[in-house]
Amino acid sequence: MIGGLLAAAWALHQGQRRDAGRDMTWGVAQNALRLESVTHERHASRGVRSSHKALRTGQETGF
């Protein structure tokens, strides 16, 4: 009985950690996309075409 409760609590704990990791990854992805769009707008406003390939590979974003 107690072993089953511990196993259920552990599974719930692991699930919460996995969700937190997914949220953190999603937040990093959103920040990268936001940085890409801001960088692109900044370049476009100066009349410079930014290289999407460099942005996607993370050379300018630092990832």
What tokens appear for 44 in the block?
A: 């476009």
Reported pTM: 0.27
The total domain count for the chain is: 1
2-58 pLDDT, tens digit per residue, is 777 777 777 776 666 666 666 666 677 777 777 777 666 665 665 545 455 555 555
The pLDDT assigned to 9 comes to 74
Q: What is the pLDDT of residue 34?
A: 75
Residue 13 falls inside a structural domain: no
Residue span of the structural domain in which 47 resides: 21-63
pLDDT at position 30 is: 76
59 against 31, higher pLDDT? 31
Is 6 inside a domain boundary?
A: no
Write the DSSP assignment of 17-48 as a string of letters: HHHHHHHHHHHHHHHHHHHHHHHHHHHHHTT-
Two structure tokens written together for 56: 């996607």
